[in-house]
Amino acid sequence: MFKLTSTAVDNGRLDIRYGSNSDDASMIEEGIPQISFPFEWSGEPEGTKSYAIEYMDYDNAEDEGVIWIHWIAAGIPADKHEFAEGEAYGTDIIQGHNSWALPYGPYEHIPDKYKTGYGGPAPGRCHTYELTIYALDNVPELKDGFFYADMRNSIEGHILDKAVLKMKYGG
């Protein structure tokens, strides 16, 4: 069974330090939480050649009218089975645009360096987040800065299995 777990999620709640409510100001830049939480996976299906990740906040649609993409990544090697705390940055994986790249309102002046890769949770109220890892039978041909639709199109028909970890944060 393909399974995704995290030591940073306890009783369905993400540890406060991995979002905007953290007491550690060094973990937040431009109002965006920068330190990714640790997670690991196991039980991937035979024939897995790579993984892709999406970290989403579907509750954000009620607040701002859009589902929030916190992190999308692809080209994760088949022999990798974990991300350590903070490892979302500085890795050799292919990272896509997050929703901090929105070109309007409070997001239009966010520096480009925060528009791809990981950007942690910063809700005004409690939201439910979903981290999904896809086991793929290919290595998607994407480049850094890809968009969500690019990833979805490149993995379509190549998903062997997926594992989901739900967590709450905020409130």
Percent of the chain having pLDDT more than 70?
A: 99
The answer on pLDDT for 171 being more than 90 is no
Give the mean pLDDT of 122-145: 97
Residue 163: predicted pLDDT: 98
CA dihedral 59→66→158→168, nearest 10 degrees, is -20
Residues of 117-136 as b/e, b for ≥16 C-beta within 10 angstroms?
Answer: bbbbbbbeeebebebbbbbb
> Model confidence over 29-87: pLDDT tens digits?
999 999 999 999 999 999 999 999 999 999 999 999 999 999 999 999 999 999 999 99
Average pLDDT value over all residues in the chain: 95
How does residue 91 score in pLDDT terms, banded at 50, 70 and 90? confident
How does residue 105 score in pLDDT terms, banded at 50, 70 and 90? confident
Residue 104: predicted pLDDT: 86
Residue 21: predicted pLDDT: 95
The answer on pLDDT for 153 being more than 90 is yes
Residue 149: predicted pLDDT: 98
| E strand residue ranges, the chain | 3-5, 9-10, 13-14, 28-29, 32-33, 39-42, 50-57, 68-77, 82-83, 94-95, 127-136, 159-169
Residue 112: predicted pLDDT: 92
